[in-house]
Structure 1
């Protein structure tokens, strides 16, 4: 009987130690959660202010001290956006530009990333380092040369000019290379034994397995393309050929800016990206996390 009591006593002691450890951990966990909640609220404040301002009058939006909520919501600010800007045309231009950039980057960067991760060719590491060096160069330095190329090709004030410079990226190549490195090399060997050439291995075997990485790159590219402002302002000056970001920027006057209408347009323009991120956020985080496992 004493032999049966000893194990139970030991189990109770171990259980008590676990409970004590959990209690000791609670204060640190509480601090972490408080910091995370504070950070989340800090991120939400600009979005709340955007919605609040879009429902204010001009006097309320420019009052000092500022008012957090409108006295009476002015829903006509949203209809004024469509009367001030060719919203439908600019929305279409933004969608076309985003789709072209996203699809092209996913395919091109997936192909380049697979080549750097799996294929053996002379100077592979040197070329990859040169690719990464592009990330250290500010994109503004390429504006003049890219504009001159578009001008000589006769593509100014076209949707193609908006999309063309963003169809490939060094970051996307790096992300996809890191993702392909996490996949077992035995899959390539098995596919080659079945008679697949390098393109078939990439297309039929690797791409289906790299779905999360491609989704992560696609979402990042879509958000970046949707919010791109500087290049659309430079290459297209026709309002009918502008994107939403460039069109909304034209609402800022030198002496007077109608902030409620500007915020209403900004809110409408942000809805597609919010929906995209909410729907695919899990795949995006999994893709980025998987690509960071192996270097």
Structure 2
């Protein structure tokens, strides 16, 4: 039994090393000079710790505007997904109406289609209403999430129906039951959705590069993707840009990780 535990620990440590070493290398390289970053043999720690790589990026690119664009897109899309997704999930889990199972399966089938297929129809739709090259285009396509509906529906199914029936006896309607009974139960899946969907919105690079032309309206990931054109082979500056993209997501995850683990480990994901 002890040998089995040590093997599990070894595999976990190896997995952590595989995931963290590239980030640590990127972080250390962002504080190096160009000469230190190209030395052979490779030098792990900088001989001279400098911050000029970060200051150069901040001077050349509108980082503050990019961060605000990204934060705005993440916040609006998350609020919409939680509200619309939880309402739809409540309807699919609790209400009875014709074709409910068929509609739910039809909605789930969308998850099987690669997201890239929707890029052209989305762009044509936004272009028709004049929303291309606007900050609205960054989040309007993410207002509704099929995954959010599916995940929260599974959690709602784990809530005893007796609670709904007791509330109806007391005179509560469907919306009040949703607001006072269902939503408090959904705290863990909502946090899990915030991490998963927020990360997906934050790191999305393809869609903003297609729909946005003005540099000031870009989110941070798409904006910093242009670093390679400006700094060419200046690796410390490129690594500094990668660190700037990663740190907010890492902080966000560590703040909410307790709720994320609770949401994944709970018994809600069941039919």
Fold-level match, TM-score > 0.5? yes
2:156 is matched with which residue?
180
The partner residue of 1:245 within 221, 241, 245 is 221
**Shift of residue 64 of structure 1?**
5.2
1:72 is matched with which residue?
48
2:229 alignment partner, SS class: coil
1:140 is matched with which residue?
116
What CA deviation, in whole Å up to 9, does each residue of 1:112-145 have, x standing for no partner?
1111111111111111111111111110111111
The partner residue of 1:83 within 37, 42, 59 is 59
CA separation of 1:31 and 1:135: change in aligned 2, threshold 3 A: same
How large is the RMSD of aligned CA atoms in angstroms?
1.7
Structure label with greater radius of gyration = 1
Matched ranges for 1:219-238 at <5 A = 219-238=195-214
Q: How many residues align?
A: 271
Q: Which runs of 5+ in 1 are unaligned?
A: 1-24
Matched ranges for 1:36-185 at <5 A = 36-63=12-39, 66-185=42-161
1:18 is matched with which residue?
none
TM-score (norm 1): 0.87
TM-score (norm 2): 0.94
Matched ranges for 1:18-33 at <5 A = 25-33=1-9
Matched, 1:285 2:265: no
Q: Is the CA contact 2:157–2:268 (under 8 Å) kept in the aligned structure 1?
A: no
2:250 is matched with which residue?
274
Distance 1:246 1:127 in 2: 35
CA separation of 1:98 and 1:238: change in aligned 2, threshold 3 A: same
**Shift of residue 170 of structure 1?**
1.1
The partner residue of 1:258 within 225, 228, 234 is 234
**Shift of residue 104 of structure 1?**
0.8
